[in-house]
Structure 1
Amino acid sequence: MKRLFLDIFTWWNSATIGTRVHTYFSGEFVGEDEFGNRYYRSKGGKVDPTLGFQRRWVIFKGEAEATKIPSGWHGWMHHKDVPAPSEVSYKPREWEKPFQPNLTGTAGAYRPKGSIVHQDPHRPQATGDYDAWSPGQ
Protein backbone atom coordinates (compact mmCIF):
# COMPACT_ATOMS: atom_id res chain seq x y z
CA MET A 1 0.00 0.00 0.00
CA LYS A 2 2.82 2.39 0.87
CA ARG A 3 4.53 1.72 -2.51
CA LEU A 4 1.29 2.54 -4.36
CA PHE A 5 0.85 5.75 -2.35
CA LEU A 6 4.45 6.82 -3.11
CA ASP A 7 4.05 6.01 -6.82
CA ILE A 8 0.91 8.13 -7.09
CA PHE A 9 1.94 11.19 -5.08
CA THR A 10 5.73 11.49 -5.34
CA TRP A 11 8.07 11.92 -8.28
CA TRP A 12 11.35 11.54 -6.36
CA ASN A 13 10.80 7.88 -5.38
CA SER A 14 11.62 5.81 -8.47
CA ALA A 15 8.87 6.65 -10.99
CA THR A 16 5.31 7.92 -10.97
CA ILE A 17 2.35 5.88 -12.18
CA GLY A 18 2.29 7.99 -15.38
CA THR A 19 5.94 7.21 -16.11
CA ARG A 20 5.35 3.51 -15.52
CA VAL A 21 2.32 3.47 -17.86
CA HIS A 22 4.24 5.40 -20.54
CA THR A 23 7.18 3.01 -20.16
CA TYR A 24 4.92 -0.04 -20.46
CA PHE A 25 3.22 1.13 -23.67
CA SER A 26 5.93 3.21 -25.37
CA GLY A 27 9.22 2.12 -23.86
CA GLU A 28 11.83 -0.45 -24.78
CA PHE A 29 14.20 -1.71 -22.07
CA VAL A 30 17.84 -1.01 -22.97
CA GLY A 31 19.79 -1.99 -19.88
CA GLU A 32 20.50 -1.69 -16.19
CA ASP A 33 23.50 -0.17 -14.42
CA GLU A 34 25.35 -1.30 -11.30
CA PHE A 35 23.01 0.72 -9.06
CA GLY A 36 19.85 -0.97 -10.36
CA ASN A 37 18.69 2.01 -12.45
CA ARG A 38 16.83 0.85 -15.57
CA TYR A 39 17.20 2.64 -18.91
CA TYR A 40 14.58 2.88 -21.66
CA ARG A 41 14.12 4.37 -25.12
CA SER A 42 11.23 4.79 -27.54
CA LYS A 43 10.04 1.44 -28.89
CA GLY A 44 11.94 0.42 -31.98
CA GLY A 45 14.28 3.39 -31.64
CA LYS A 46 11.55 5.63 -33.06
CA VAL A 47 12.50 9.29 -33.45
CA ASP A 48 10.12 11.73 -31.80
CA PRO A 49 8.95 14.14 -34.53
CA THR A 50 8.63 17.09 -32.15
CA LEU A 51 12.15 16.64 -30.73
CA GLY A 52 13.94 15.32 -33.79
CA PHE A 53 15.66 12.56 -31.82
CA GLN A 54 14.91 9.39 -29.90
CA ARG A 55 13.45 9.75 -26.41
CA ARG A 56 15.51 8.16 -23.64
CA TRP A 57 14.76 7.97 -19.93
CA VAL A 58 15.76 6.26 -16.72
CA ILE A 59 13.74 4.77 -13.89
CA PHE A 60 15.86 5.10 -10.78
CA LYS A 61 16.05 2.42 -8.15
CA GLY A 62 15.06 4.26 -5.02
CA GLU A 63 15.32 8.03 -4.83
CA ALA A 64 15.58 9.88 -8.14
CA GLU A 65 19.05 11.40 -8.03
CA ALA A 66 20.56 12.42 -11.37
CA THR A 67 24.10 12.07 -10.07
CA LYS A 68 23.47 8.31 -9.69
CA ILE A 69 23.80 7.84 -13.45
CA PRO A 70 27.24 6.38 -14.28
CA SER A 71 29.31 8.18 -16.91
CA GLY A 72 28.75 5.58 -19.66
CA TRP A 73 24.99 5.78 -19.29
CA HIS A 74 25.15 9.56 -18.94
CA GLY A 75 26.72 9.78 -22.40
CA TRP A 76 24.01 7.54 -23.85
CA MET A 77 21.20 9.48 -22.12
CA HIS A 78 22.47 12.75 -23.62
CA HIS A 79 22.99 11.30 -27.10
CA LYS A 80 26.79 11.67 -26.87
CA ASP A 81 27.58 8.00 -27.55
CA VAL A 82 25.64 6.01 -30.13
CA PRO A 83 25.57 2.60 -28.42
CA ALA A 84 24.24 2.04 -24.93
CA PRO A 85 26.76 0.54 -22.47
CA SER A 86 24.65 -2.64 -22.41
CA GLU A 87 25.01 -3.02 -26.19
CA VAL A 88 28.83 -2.88 -26.18
CA SER A 89 31.48 -4.00 -23.73
CA TYR A 90 31.80 -0.64 -22.01
CA LYS A 91 34.74 -0.24 -19.66
CA PRO A 92 35.13 3.00 -17.68
CA ARG A 93 38.33 4.92 -18.31
CA GLU A 94 40.87 5.24 -15.51
CA TRP A 95 40.01 8.92 -14.94
CA GLU A 96 36.26 8.27 -14.54
CA LYS A 97 35.46 8.43 -10.87
CA PRO A 98 32.90 6.20 -9.15
CA PHE A 99 29.59 7.64 -8.01
CA GLN A 100 29.53 9.88 -4.98
CA PRO A 101 26.20 11.20 -3.79
CA ASN A 102 25.48 14.92 -3.81
CA LEU A 103 25.45 15.82 -0.10
CA THR A 104 24.27 19.42 -0.52
CA GLY A 105 21.50 20.16 1.97
CA THR A 106 22.35 17.19 4.18
CA ALA A 107 24.31 16.84 7.41
CA GLY A 108 27.23 15.50 5.37
CA ALA A 109 27.55 18.65 3.23
CA TYR A 110 30.85 20.51 3.12
CA ARG A 111 31.00 23.28 5.69
CA PRO A 112 34.14 25.42 5.61
CA LYS A 113 35.81 26.60 8.78
CA GLY A 114 34.18 29.81 9.94
CA SER A 115 30.75 28.82 8.62
CA ILE A 116 27.93 29.30 11.12
CA VAL A 117 26.94 25.64 10.66
CA HIS A 118 30.49 24.28 11.08
CA GLN A 119 31.22 22.35 14.27
CA ASP A 120 33.67 25.07 15.27
CA PRO A 121 31.92 28.27 14.11
CA HIS A 122 34.74 30.59 15.27
CA ARG A 123 36.28 32.40 12.35
CA PRO A 124 40.06 32.12 12.01
CA GLN A 125 42.06 35.19 12.96
CA ALA A 126 42.64 37.73 10.17
CA THR A 127 46.17 37.80 8.79
CA GLY A 128 46.51 41.58 8.76
CA ASP A 129 46.36 42.01 5.01
CA TYR A 130 42.75 43.15 5.13
CA ASP A 131 41.53 46.61 6.07
CA ALA A 132 37.85 46.77 6.82
CA TRP A 133 35.96 49.66 5.24
CA SER A 134 34.23 52.10 7.51
CA PRO A 135 32.01 55.01 6.37
CA GLY A 136 34.23 57.68 7.97
CA GLN A 137 37.30 56.93 5.84
Structure 2
Amino acid sequence: MREVEIVGVRVDMPANQPLVLLREVGGARVVPIWIGAVEASAIAFALQGTPTARPLTHELMGTLVEALGDELQRVEIVDVRDGIFYAELHFESGAVVEARPSDGIALALRTGATVLVAEDVLDAAGLLPESDEEAEVERFREFLDDVDPEDFA
Protein backbone atom coordinates (compact mmCIF):
# COMPACT_ATOMS: atom_id res chain seq x y z
CA MET A 1 0.00 0.00 0.00
CA ARG A 2 1.17 3.47 -0.88
CA GLU A 3 -0.09 6.66 0.72
CA VAL A 4 -1.66 9.17 -1.66
CA GLU A 5 -2.62 12.80 -1.46
CA ILE A 6 -5.89 14.06 -2.86
CA VAL A 7 -4.90 16.52 -5.58
CA GLY A 8 -8.50 17.57 -6.16
CA VAL A 9 -11.54 17.10 -8.32
CA ARG A 10 -12.00 18.14 -11.91
CA VAL A 11 -14.46 17.63 -14.71
CA ASP A 12 -13.28 15.46 -17.59
CA MET A 13 -14.33 16.93 -20.91
CA PRO A 14 -16.12 16.27 -23.21
CA ALA A 15 -17.96 13.64 -21.16
CA ASN A 16 -18.57 16.23 -18.41
CA GLN A 17 -17.76 13.51 -15.85
CA PRO A 18 -16.15 14.51 -12.53
CA LEU A 19 -13.05 12.73 -11.33
CA VAL A 20 -10.81 12.83 -8.30
CA LEU A 21 -7.05 12.84 -8.75
CA LEU A 22 -4.81 11.01 -6.29
CA ARG A 23 -1.01 11.34 -6.36
CA GLU A 24 1.29 8.92 -4.56
CA VAL A 25 3.28 10.49 -1.75
CA GLY A 26 6.97 10.34 -2.55
CA GLY A 27 6.26 9.26 -6.11
CA ALA A 28 5.05 10.58 -9.42
CA ARG A 29 2.07 8.39 -10.33
CA VAL A 30 -1.38 9.95 -10.45
CA VAL A 31 -4.57 7.89 -10.26
CA PRO A 32 -7.73 9.41 -11.77
CA ILE A 33 -10.98 7.94 -10.44
CA TRP A 34 -14.23 8.94 -12.14
CA ILE A 35 -16.90 9.78 -9.57
CA GLY A 36 -20.43 11.16 -9.34
CA ALA A 37 -21.28 14.85 -9.14
CA VAL A 38 -22.52 14.61 -5.54
CA GLU A 39 -19.28 12.94 -4.42
CA ALA A 40 -17.25 15.53 -6.36
CA SER A 41 -19.06 18.29 -4.46
CA ALA A 42 -18.48 16.53 -1.13
CA ILE A 43 -14.75 16.17 -1.83
CA ALA A 44 -14.46 19.77 -3.08
CA PHE A 45 -16.26 21.10 0.02
CA ALA A 46 -13.86 19.18 2.26
CA LEU A 47 -10.74 20.24 0.33
CA GLN A 48 -11.77 23.87 0.54
CA GLY A 49 -12.88 23.66 4.16
CA THR A 50 -16.25 25.07 3.18
CA PRO A 51 -18.60 25.10 6.18
CA THR A 52 -22.14 23.82 5.69
CA ALA A 53 -25.27 24.96 7.49
CA ARG A 54 -26.26 21.36 8.19
CA PRO A 55 -24.14 18.20 8.19
CA LEU A 56 -23.61 16.61 4.81
CA THR A 57 -23.73 12.81 4.58
CA HIS A 58 -19.97 12.36 5.03
CA GLU A 59 -19.92 14.75 7.98
CA LEU A 60 -22.77 12.77 9.52
CA MET A 61 -20.87 9.52 8.94
CA GLY A 62 -17.81 10.91 10.71
CA THR A 63 -19.90 12.13 13.62
CA LEU A 64 -21.63 8.74 13.92
CA VAL A 65 -18.33 6.87 13.97
CA GLU A 66 -17.03 9.19 16.68
CA ALA A 67 -20.26 8.97 18.71
CA LEU A 68 -19.99 5.18 18.61
CA GLY A 69 -16.49 5.42 20.07
CA ASP A 70 -14.53 4.42 17.00
CA GLU A 71 -12.16 6.19 14.63
CA LEU A 72 -11.48 5.89 10.92
CA GLN A 73 -7.78 5.09 10.64
CA ARG A 74 -7.39 4.73 6.91
CA VAL A 75 -9.10 4.29 3.58
CA GLU A 76 -7.56 1.67 1.31
CA ILE A 77 -8.25 1.55 -2.41
CA VAL A 78 -7.73 -2.16 -2.80
CA ASP A 79 -8.73 -3.13 -6.33
CA VAL A 80 -9.69 -1.96 -9.79
CA ARG A 81 -11.63 -4.25 -12.11
CA ASP A 82 -13.08 -3.21 -15.47
CA GLY A 83 -12.44 0.42 -14.60
CA ILE A 84 -14.31 0.19 -11.28
CA PHE A 85 -12.34 0.96 -8.12
CA TYR A 86 -13.01 -0.75 -4.78
CA ALA A 87 -12.14 0.57 -1.34
CA GLU A 88 -12.26 -0.41 2.30
CA LEU A 89 -12.65 1.70 5.42
CA HIS A 90 -10.40 0.51 8.28
CA PHE A 91 -11.41 1.50 11.80
CA GLU A 92 -9.46 1.56 15.05
CA SER A 93 -11.78 -1.12 16.44
CA GLY A 94 -10.60 -3.50 13.72
CA ALA A 95 -13.80 -3.23 11.70
CA VAL A 96 -13.39 -3.15 7.92
CA VAL A 97 -16.21 -1.86 5.72
CA GLU A 98 -16.40 -1.96 1.92
CA ALA A 99 -16.97 1.47 0.36
CA ARG A 100 -16.82 3.37 -2.89
CA PRO A 101 -13.48 5.19 -3.09
CA SER A 102 -15.23 8.55 -3.49
CA ASP A 103 -17.15 8.08 -0.23
CA GLY A 104 -14.02 6.88 1.53
CA ILE A 105 -12.03 9.88 0.30
CA ALA A 106 -14.76 12.35 1.32
CA LEU A 107 -14.89 10.76 4.78
CA ALA A 108 -11.09 10.65 5.11
CA LEU A 109 -10.85 14.34 4.31
CA ARG A 110 -13.29 15.12 7.12
CA THR A 111 -11.68 12.84 9.71
CA GLY A 112 -8.00 13.23 8.89
CA ALA A 113 -7.64 9.56 7.95
CA THR A 114 -4.90 8.41 5.60
CA VAL A 115 -5.75 7.30 2.06
CA LEU A 116 -3.73 4.39 0.68
CA VAL A 117 -3.72 2.71 -2.72
CA ALA A 118 -2.64 -0.87 -3.32
CA GLU A 119 0.56 -1.19 -5.34
CA ASP A 120 -1.18 -3.32 -7.98
CA VAL A 121 -3.89 -0.66 -8.35
CA LEU A 122 -1.19 1.99 -8.84
CA ASP A 123 0.47 -0.27 -11.41
CA ALA A 124 -2.82 -0.82 -13.27
CA ALA A 125 -4.37 2.66 -13.08
CA GLY A 126 -1.55 5.03 -12.18
CA LEU A 127 -0.30 7.45 -14.80
CA LEU A 128 3.19 8.89 -14.91
CA PRO A 129 2.75 12.55 -15.73
CA GLU A 130 4.90 13.97 -18.45
CA SER A 131 6.20 17.49 -18.08
CA ASP A 132 3.05 18.87 -19.75
CA GLU A 133 0.88 16.83 -17.38
CA GLU A 134 2.82 18.18 -14.39
CA ALA A 135 2.03 21.69 -15.61
CA GLU A 136 -1.61 20.68 -16.03
CA VAL A 137 -1.74 19.36 -12.45
CA GLU A 138 -0.31 22.66 -11.24
CA ARG A 139 -2.90 24.61 -13.30
CA PHE A 140 -5.55 22.32 -11.83
CA ARG A 141 -4.36 23.14 -8.30
CA GLU A 142 -4.74 26.81 -9.16
CA PHE A 143 -8.21 26.09 -10.55
CA LEU A 144 -9.14 24.43 -7.25
CA ASP A 145 -8.31 27.62 -5.40
CA ASP A 146 -11.06 29.38 -7.37
CA VAL A 147 -13.67 26.64 -7.90
CA ASP A 148 -16.90 26.63 -5.95
CA PRO A 149 -18.38 23.24 -4.88
CA GLU A 150 -21.72 24.31 -6.33
CA ASP A 151 -20.07 24.19 -9.76
CA PHE A 152 -20.47 20.39 -9.59
CA ALA A 153 -24.17 20.37 -8.71
TM (norm. structure 2) is: 0.23
Higher helix share: 2
RCO higher in structure (CA 8 A, sep ≥6): 2
Higher strand share: 2
TM (norm. structure 1) is: 0.25
